[in-house]
Amino acid sequence: MTDRPVRTRYAPSPTGNPHVGNIRSALFSWAYARAHGGQFLLRIEDTDRNRFIEGAVEAIMESLRWLGIDWDEGPDVGGPKGPYFQSERLHLYREAAERLLASGRAYRCFCTPERLDALRAAQAAAKKPPGYDGLCRAISPAEAETRGKDEPHVIRFAMQREGVTVLRDVIRGDVVFENALQDDFVILKSDGFPTYHLAVVVDDTAMEISHCIRGDEWISSAPKHIQLYEALGWQSPEWAHLPLILGPDHKKLSKRSGDTALLDYRDRGYLPEAMVNFLALLGWSLDDHTTILSVEDLTRNFDLARVVPNPAVFDIERLNFLNGHYIRTMDEKRWVGLVGEWADRGLPPSVPRPLDERVIRAAAPLLRERVTVLSEIPGMIAFLFTYDAPEYETTLLTERVGAAATAVRVLDEALLRLDALPGERWTPEAVETALRGLEEPLGMKLRKFIAVLYVAIMGRPTGIPLFDSLGILGRERTLARLRAARARLG
Ligand code: GLU
């Protein structure tokens, strides 16, 4: 255990819109800092210029902000250990590389890309693991120094060749790596940019990171980092490699199984608190039974001791469940606001703006029990905002009741009874009584034939509660839509 003040970081590469799996690392690092009175940093690892994507830094910050993850130091807010873009810290990596050269733990490598390709091919043919064979280690430092003045080269770290390197991982315990299986990796590229391995060690040290909490894909790099710390005489942080996230098929999470950009989930109508709750439980738990937890539960109680090493399963059904839960339990005012916002965003431009606030307010409680993701809202209430009958395939009218003749009888009977209900008595209760009166003459239960009415009114066989909807829609529009449906059936 370290007695250093807790400082954690999220260190994304700006290679696109961060995916949910990656954001889980940010969430855990942040929660650890917050739960232990520490600080959380955002550092942009932009040393791979070929993979840099315009707008990615903004997308990273927007993703974090959406979830309520704040950072004490970072590219926008600055801080005492900045700059927080690696591309602005190149001199630090060069200094570290020079120190390693001077102490004999690094060397200049002049191997051409062609030689490295040939080496890789030969290793593949011999079914040997790929890796640099250490050829340039044999060049004397003096010769290398001279050649280095005008020959393109990289700087490689000289790994220990004997013995083992032990990763003491808070989550996994000790993981032992045979040094003989490691190779001399590049720390500084020919363009003067560091590789991730050198940069992460230099920056985590300079930024006084106490806990390196990152995805499990970095475990195999850990021996490189541990040896770099040793060679530079620096204290390594505590290591915590988070469990893999698997898709519902128990295969590595892929785009198809849900590992898409976090912001896509926002745009599809997931709530940030549902997402935080969902991501928090991908590998961590509060206790052995809590499934609903708030951001405060997380930032108060998060501990690496309750992160399990075995893979977590990304189950979209669980996220849907949580989203529905937060929709049903949020306060009324926020819910009405969200309904208005999503309706405004999703209803066609032909619907006049601003949207009728009374309709929004009346529809909001009806939507609560039925919406899983907010993007469903416009489709479910579009019928309340139009004067014309909705568009639908005529076959939808008859689908649930079988015969067209039955649908005709349903519509005729409904028209008869609702026509008899005067405007001043037009309430959801009165509408319900009138429509329940159909059960007897039709000789079937309401739930059998109600789909016909749904389609006529909303253009879809199910939706928000019908009687309340007709209450909002009013007598004239209701009768017009039933007549239009009847006319379609001839
Ligand atoms: N830049 C690395 C990434 O994009 C950071 C890994 C780490 O957290 O050390 O995943």
Residue 227 Cβ contacting ligand 1 at under 6 Å:
no
Q: How far is the CA of 422 from the centre of ligand 1 (A)?
A: 68
Residue 45 lies in a domain: no
Out of 242, 270, 290, a domain closes at 242
Residue 94 pLDDT:
98
pLDDT digits over 221-276, tens only? 999 999 999 999 999 999 999 999 998 888 888 888 777 899 999 999 999 999 99
| Mean local confidence (pLDDT), 269-288 | 98
The answer as to whether 354 is a domain residue is: no
| CATH number of the domain that residue 464 is part of | 1.10.10.350
Instruction: Provide the residue type at 125 as one letter.
Output: A
Beta bridge partners, 74, equal 78
Atom of ligand 1 nearest to the CA of 9: 8
Residues with Cβ within 8 Å of 345's Cβ and at least 6 positions away in sequence, in order, are 378
- Residues 232, 238, 240: CA angle, nearest 5 degrees: 125
User: Can you tell me which atom of ligand 1 is nearest the CA of 213?
Assistant: 8
Residue 81 lies in a domain: no
Q: 51-82: per-residue pLDDT in tens?
A: 989 999 999 999 999 999 999 999 999 999 99
The last residue of a domain, from among 242, 271, 293:
242
Q: Quick check: is 254 in a domain?
A: no
Domain assignment of residue 351, yes or no: no
Residue 426 has pLDDT above 60, yes or no: yes
Mean pLDDT over 410-424 rounds to 96
**Ligand 1 proximity of 214 Cβ (cutoff 6 Å):** yes
Domain total for the chain?
2
Ligand 1 center–CA 210 separation, angstroms: 16
Atom of ligand 1 nearest to the CA of 196: 1
Among candidates 338, 339, 347, 337, which has minimal Cα distance to 379?
Answer: 347
Sequence-distant (6+) residues with CB within 8 A of 352 are: none
pLDDT at 248: 87
CA 269 – CA 284 distance, rounded (Å): 25
Percentage of residues of the chain with pLDDT beyond 90: 94
Query: Is-contact 245 177, C-beta < 8 A?
Result: no
Does the Cβ of 237 fall within 6 Å of ligand 1? no
Give tens-digit pLDDT for 353-405: 999 999 999 999 999 999 999 999 999 999 999 999 999 999 999 999 989 99
DSSP assignment letter at 310: S
372-376 CB contacts, 8 Å cutoff, 24+ apart: 372/320, 372/323, 372/324, 372/327, 373/268, 373/269, 373/270, 373/320, 373/323, 374/269, 374/270, 374/271, 374/327, 374/338, 374/342, 375/267, 375/268, 375/269, 375/342, 375/346, 376/269
User: Which residue, 33, 16, 45, is CA-closest to 70?
Assistant: 33
Residue 386: how many other CB atoms lie within 10 Å: 17
Instruction: Give the whole-angstrom CA distance, residue 220 versus residue 236.
Output: 16
Q: Work out the number of other CB atoms within 10 angstroms of the CB of residue 336.
A: 18
Please state, in angstroms and rounded to a whole number, the distance separating the CA atoms of residues 479 and 469.
Answer: 13
Amino acid at 230: E
| Cα radius of gyration (the chain) | 31
Q: What confidence score (pLDDT) does residue 259 get?
A: 78
Mean pLDDT over each residue of the chain, to the nearest integer: 96
Confidence band, pLDDT 50/70/90 cuts, at residue 489:
very high
% of residues, the chain, pLDDT over 70: 100
255 has catalytic annotation = yes
| Confidence band of 41 (pLDDT split at 50, 70, 90) | very high
- Ligand 1 pocket: which of 43, 48, 51, 196 to mutate (most atoms within 8 A of CB): 196
pLDDT for position 2: 66
Q: Are the beta carbons of 207 and 43 closer than 8 angstroms?
A: yes
Nearest protein Cα to ligand 1, atom 3: 12
Tell whether ligand 1 has an atom less than 6 A from the beta carbon of residue 13. yes
Convert 181-246 into a string of H (helix), E (strand) and C (coil): HCCCCEEECCCCCECHHHHHHHHHHHCCCCEEEEEHHHHHHHHHHHHHHHHHCCCCCEEEEECCEE
Written as six digits, the tokens of 233 are 């005489």
Domain that holds residue 445: 396-489
Q: What is the pLDDT of residue 253?
A: 83
Residue 256 pLDDT: 80
Q: Residue 320 domain-assigned? A: no
- Helix H or strand E encompassing 479: helix 475-488
Q: Is 465 helix (H, G, I), strand (E, B) or coil?
A: coil
Ligand 1 centroid, distance to 94 Cα (angstroms)? 20
Please indicate, yes or no, if residue 111 is contained in any of the structural domains.
yes
Phi, psi of 388 (to 5 degrees): -80, 160
pLDDT per position as a tens digit, 296-335:
999 999 999 999 999 999 999 999 999 999 999 999 999 9
Residue 108 belongs to domain with CATH number: 3.40.50.620
Q: Which one of 149, 251, 255, 445 is the catalytic residue?
A: 255
- With a 6 Å cutoff on the Cβ, whether 172 touches ligand 1 is no
Q: Is the CB of 203 under 6 A from ligand 1?
A: no
Q: Of the candidates 193, 224, 242, which is a domain's last residue?
A: 242
Contacts of 153 (CB under 8 A, 6+ apart): 108, 109, 110, 144, 147, 190
Q: Hey, whose CA ends up nearest to atom 2 of ligand 1?
A: 12
Band (468; pLDDT cuts 50, 70, 90) = very high
Q: Residue 1 pLDDT more than 70?
A: no
Q: What is the pLDDT of residue 293?
A: 97
Nearest Cα residue to 266 out of 74, 463, 65: 65
Question: Mean of the pLDDT values across residues 323-349?
Answer: 98
pLDDT in tens, 183-227: 999 999 999 999 999 999 999 999 999 999 999 999 999 999 999
Whole-number Å distance between alpha carbons of 364 and 345: 16
In a domain, 101, yes or no: yes
Residue 11 in contact with ligand 1 by CB distance below 6 A:
yes
